[in-house]
A and B are shown apart, each in its own frame.
Chain A
Amino acid sequence: MSESTISTPVSDVTPAPGVHVECANPTSIPDEDVAIRVRDLWIRYRTVLDKKKTLRGLISSWATRHDRNDDVRVVDAVRGVSFDVAHGSVLGIVGPNGAGKSTLLRGIAGILPPEAGRVETDGHVATLLALGLGFNMKLTGRENITLGGLTAGLTRDEIKDREEDIIDFSGVRDFIDMPLRTYSSGMKGRLAFSVSTSMDPDILLIDEALSAGDAAFKKRANERMEELLGRGRTIIVVSHGLSSLRTMADQAMWLQAGRVIAMGDPDEIVDAYTDSAQTTGNAAANDD
């Protein structure tokens, strides 16, 4: 991994909009080792969770001769982020709610289009994002395994081969033929984790997933991730479980207001982030 220094001042948490801050940027990784390369990535949401464009809104904006773009709320969730992740390493991302962590993962997975900049990924990407793979609550656990696998691009045979292993690992065998709406959130989280880590991804993007399971499952989940890393897989994990980041990650990134505040050694980054959260009181940086 690259040098473990914090190269951007910690106090500079909210740079002025439009100002481009050059961030810690471990470009020392040779091209052939790069699993994920992100360069000056910007991701912009439009009117998301905001007023939907309806006929009434359209008519009233015409009637009052407002520029129709007035209604479009634009949120730059990721602002000029650059970094590299080497094959077989773990990058942990910390930051307060709304820092753009999940958006960044979706940008890397190709789900959200960049507004500017570029993302390069070498290999098959699997995601384990907050919404649980788009599970269908009316279908059984078993049907959701199939659907999740097909969503990830697996064939039916490949899914059948893995099904037993997925069920065993998730520990929800007694409920596997019941609709997902009967599951607890922990059970859904465990099933989602089992499905996405069984896709044999080259790159695994995990968003807060480990908060779902109990202590025993967390231990098994960590073992599963170790196993993936042992096979040269690459992981980016977004976590509020800061102590697990310290042990698991090779490198950590502190993201805030869509920008990289600092990047480097996990211990140093987590310490700096925790200190900042305590002094400003703006983040729930609870160490588990």
Chain B
Amino acid sequence: MPSTATIGRGDRRVTVHTAHDGTLPPVGPYIAEVWRRRRFVLSMAETQLKAANYDTFFGQLWQVLNPLLLAMVYYFIVSVLSGGNQPPGFLSYLVGGLFLYYYPRSAMGAGAGSVVGGGGLLLNAAFPRAILPLSATLSAGYNYVNTLVVFFVIFLIEGGSLHLQLLWLPPMVVLLTVMSFGLAMLSGVSTVYFRDTSSFLPYALRIWMYVSPVLFTYDDLVAQIDRMGAPAAWAPYIAYLNPLVPFLNTWHKSLEGVNPSQLDVLGMIVWALVMPLIGGYFFLSREREFAVRV
């Protein structure tokens, strides 16, 4: 029997709480409850956005300024390292990839703190706890969409042209959101049991960027895997073990007016299924314990 259930008593519906047995709550009613509280989710996401840079001079502008300045730093570094020989359009390649990478990254970062930092809320109200990483993901997603606007300005200034293949962008963003939510649940639940997660995370996430085709191309990545001794035929597939690869490929290709490969589409779908399943399992089966542990 799940730890919280509703039983009938006469014509009444009585809520019953019993001991937590470490199993998943019924997933259907859980999702229905999250959906019923969708305004709460959005309001939480909005709150996080507002509270984030509430006392700085540029305020909300920092949501865009931060990744933009970072892109400039990386552009500078890559230019220095390569002796200034950049292919045309490299700035938008770099900025676009970096912005995309920053979406799951900030969802995981905010997700890590969402449960542990939800102290007062956690101890004062009963609600499906997945709302916390979900709203962290959505506020990261809102930021991503804003940075996309900045990206397209840079893209057009650099002489890029818009292709029909950009229609791949909306489904890609949706799948990326679903995957990021899974990752945010995973980092959220890890932080409850292992507080160092939030300290380790930035380093792990930085390595994630260096093994993703953000500062270099997918072909560079495959060549590198090849050089490290993997059988040449496998190298392109090994690259897809990095969840970011199918998303970055789809993004870069659609900007060039090329459709993503079947492997790209399949990769995005698989990762958008696997991450929420793993994250959701760990999160939901433990969330009843959160209030006694934070």
Contact = CB atoms under 8 A, between A and B. Distances in A.
A156 B9 CA distance: 31
Contacts of A125: 15, 126
B39 A119 contact: no
Interface string B1-26: 00110010110111111111000000
A139 interface: yes
Given A110-B17, A155-B39, A156-B39, A143 B123 contact: no
Given A106-B123, A113-B3, A120-B15, A150 B40 contact: yes
A164 interface: no
B137 to A, nearest CB: 18
Classify the secondary structure of B's interface with A. Answer: mixed
A141 interface: no
Category for how many chain A residues contact B: 35 or more
Nearest to A103: B292
B37 A119 contact: no
A114 B291 contact: no
- Among B9, B40, B294, the most chain A Cβ lie within 10 Å of the Cβ of B40
A111 B36 contact: no
Interface stretch (B95-103, B190-198, B216-224, B231-239): B190-198
Nearest to A38: B17
B161 interface: no
Nearest to A47: B293
B191 to A, nearest CB: 10
Interface string B33-45: 0001101100110
B4 A117 contact: no
Interface in A162-221: none
Contacts of A139: 47, 50-51
A111 B123 contact: yes
Contacts of B39: 150, 155-156
B207 interface: no
Nearest to B11: A32
Interface stretch (A3-11, A16-24, A51-59): A51-59
Contact of A129 (B47, B124, B293): B124
Interface in A122-180: 122-123, 125, 127, 129, 131-136, 138-139, 143, 146-147, 150-153, 155-156
B195 A52 contact: yes
Interface in B47-95: 47, 50-51, 54
B43 A131 contact: no
Contact of B194 (A53, A123, A133): A53
A48 B120 contact: no
A47 B195 CA distance: 13
A1 interface: no
B228 interface: no
B135 to A, nearest CB: 11
Contacts of A150: 37, 39-40, 43
B14 A151 contact: no
B125 interface: yes
- Among A31, A113, A119, the most chain B Cβ lie within 10 Å of the Cβ of A113
A147 B43 contact: yes
B233 to A, nearest CB: 40
Contacts of A106: 123, 291
A110 B37 contact: no
Q: 5 closest Cβ contacts across the A-B interface?
A: A134-B121, A150-B40, A134-B120, A113-B20, A110-B126
Interface of B: 3-4, 7, 9-10, 12-20, 36-37, 39-40, 43-44, 47, 50-51, 54, 118-127, 193-196, 288-289, 291-294
